[in-house]
Amino acid sequence: MTVLSGEGIEVTLPPGWEGVIGRSGAVADGAVRQVVAHFASFPLPAVRGDFGGGATEGMGPQDVLVVLFEFGPEAVGSTLFAAEGMPSISAADFDRSMLQRSIIGQSGVQRFFTTAGRTFCLYVVIGSHLDRVDVVPTVSALLGSLRIK
């Protein structure tokens, strides 16, 4: 198990997983760079979109990508982020139509929430919708280990 922390986020990565916690690089001059975290059960490529573009294309059936994207303080208190605390995910939550970029076989789940006065979108992609039951326990363990300050 590896503990990774940055930007007020701490997570315990399962064996073989890797992660990057930083700020979005694709912003216009003067814009606030949003906090983005990527946790993956497969080798992350150097160039990735905030929501995993560039990474999801190479996922195998048992692969998982977990994205945490922070929205600005202006989102605090809005209806979209009304849910408090880290969401839990079940196999039934995964939906093939929930993907930022549709790839055959994959499915995803998206949740918006507020914790520690910060607003986030949690986005999880799995390599095979058919194998979702197998990977959910690992995803739940990872989400359960997340600490946000």
Nearer to other proteins, 30 or 43 (CB): 43
In the complex, least distance from residue 46 CB atom to other proteins, rounded to whole angstroms: 4
Considering only the stretches 2-10, 71-79, 109-117, 130-138, report the one whose residues sit in contact with other proteins under the rule CB under 8 A. Answer: 2-10
The CB-based long-range contact list for 132-135 (8 Å cut-off, 24+ gap) reads 132/91, 132/94, 132/107, 133/91, 134/62, 135/41, 135/62, 135/64
Site string for other proteins, 21-60 (x = CB under 8 A): xxx-x----------------xxxxxx-------------
SS3 143: helix
**Alpha-carbon dihedral sign for residues 114, 115, 121, 126:** negative
Q: Which residue number, 11 or 124, has a Cβ lying nearer to other proteins? A: 11
- Read off φ and ψ for residue 3, nearest 5 degrees: -95, 125
> Where does this chain bind other proteins (CB under 8 A)?
2, 4-7, 13, 15-23, 25, 42-47
